[in-house]
Amino acid sequence: MSLAGVSCLVTGAGGFLGQRIVRLLLEEEEALAEIRLLDKAFSNEVLGRFEKFKGQTEVKILEGDIRDVTFLRRACQGISLVIHTASLIDTLGLIENKLLWEVNVTGTQLLLEACVCCNVQHFIYTSTIEVTGPNCKGDPIFNGDEDTAYESTSKFPYAQSKRQAEDYVLKADGQVLKDGGMLMTCALRSMYIFGEGCPFLQGHLDKCLLNKNVYLRFSRKEALVNPVYVGNIAWAHVQAAKALRAPQKAKHIRGKFYYISDDTPHMSYADLNYELTKDLGFGIEPQLPMPLTVLYYFALLLEIVSFLLRPFVRYIPSTNRHLVTLLNTPFTFSYRKAQQDFGYMPRYSWEEAKQGTGEWIASVIPQRRLYLQSSTA
């Protein structure tokens, strides 16, 4: 099924993943009628990238708040497909829980309500592997799938907000629209996303440059995960959108979630950073700065200090128990179900992903060095 003539709204369109989804939609052989790009704000650099791929599709820029009901209804008017990537991501507790919930959960609810009011038929939600785990006990999963039983005990606010939002999206499937039609939804649970423009990769690069071109080892080698390249998770959204528009495929994927990975070799998060840049002459520390159990209780100590200081000053530790567990638990998932139900296959190979990401990192190194020198002077 083609997306020709479709009017699509992409939320979080200025973000790392949102930009790549928009780019793929604009590169479709048969042009969409319109793509509306929604985000809090867009930089001139981001807008310039969209202009480069514009083609025949009409592109509208919508800057506003995902919590604004009037704004959302205006954004959804005349739209048939919504790809909802907008989300606040927080692994350290930097964002107040109230704001995290308002944007990730309430914002998703309001967007679903706007879809019903404006007769939007298809809705794809960008979820995350963190709604599954790892749990606080660090129970591993090797090559899991959508039917893998797992006791998810994470109480970390970000994971909870994404799980609740995903739940609302999947339960909204089949809801009757204002014109008597029906809303069809699905959710894509992405692995950790890497690629050109990844803000997390840039953060690790900065620490590496400050550490004499040696990456800090924050996850043990045995903690295998399967990150996904940004181009492939973006492609999965496009494939899911086409499937929702095809009646025979739609009946298989409606109201369901899918794990989206690709053929990136299984490795730890720290080793991914190294693999992407070792050809540039970077190294990596051989082991964790302290034994894993000690590291866990060190993180607990930092959390206690943060709690005790809360009445006087807002201190956010550089790590926490959730992050230590997340980074050091083997946790891998297959994309077999997505392949079976809606034909997802990675569009980019590991070598292509590695090359593109490595070239991007090489291009930003000079400016990151200058920035770090000026900030530490």
**In the annotation, is 158 catalytic?**
yes
**Count of the separate structural domains present in the chain:** 1
Rounded-to-integer distance, Cα 44 and Cα 38, Å: 15
> What average pLDDT score do residues 243-269 get?
95
Give the pLDDT of residue 285. 96
Q: What is the pTM of this model?
A: 0.95
Give the pLDDT of residue 326. 95
Q: Which domain holds residue 176?
A: 7-197+227-267+332-349
Cis previous bond, 134, omega within 30 = yes
Q: Is residue 40 part of a domain?
A: yes
CATH of the domain at 134: 3.40.50.720
Model pLDDT for residues 165-178, shown as the tens digit of each residue: 999 999 999 999 99
40: confidence class by pLDDT, cuts 50, 70, 90 = very high
Model pLDDT for residues 44-78, shown as the tens digit of each residue: 888 887 777 667 888 999 999 999 999 999 999 99
Q: Is residue 321 part of a domain?
A: no
Q: Is residue 222 part of a domain?
A: no
Give the pLDDT of residue 192. 96
Rounded-to-integer distance, Cα 195 and Cα 35, Å: 23
126: confidence class by pLDDT, cuts 50, 70, 90 = very high
Q: Is residue 290 part of a domain?
A: no
> What average pLDDT score do residues 6-16 get?
96
Give the pLDDT of residue 377. 61
Given a cut of 80, whether residue 1 has pLDDT beyond it is no
Model pLDDT for residues 151-164, shown as the tens digit of each residue: 887 788 999 999 99
Give the pLDDT of residue 188. 98
Q: Is residue 372 part of a domain?
A: no
Q: Is residue 325 part of a domain?
A: no
Model pLDDT for residues 182-191, shown as the tens digit of each residue: 999 999 999 9
147: confidence class by pLDDT, cuts 50, 70, 90 = very high
Q: Which of 125, 158, 259, 335 is catalytic?
A: 158
Q: Is residue 366 part of a domain?
A: no
Q: Is residue 249 part of a domain?
A: yes
Rounded-to-integer distance, Cα 303 and Cα 271, Å: 27
Rounded-to-integer distance, Cα 44 and Cα 2, Å: 31
DSSP-assigned beta bridge partners for residue 186: 124, 256
Decide: 157 and 101 in contact? Cβ < 8 Å: yes
Q: What is the mean pLDDT of the chain?
A: 94
Give the pLDDT of residue 98. 95
Give the pLDDT of residue 374. 84
Q: In 129-281, which ranges are E strands?
A: 141-144, 184-190, 193-194, 214-215, 228-229, 256-260
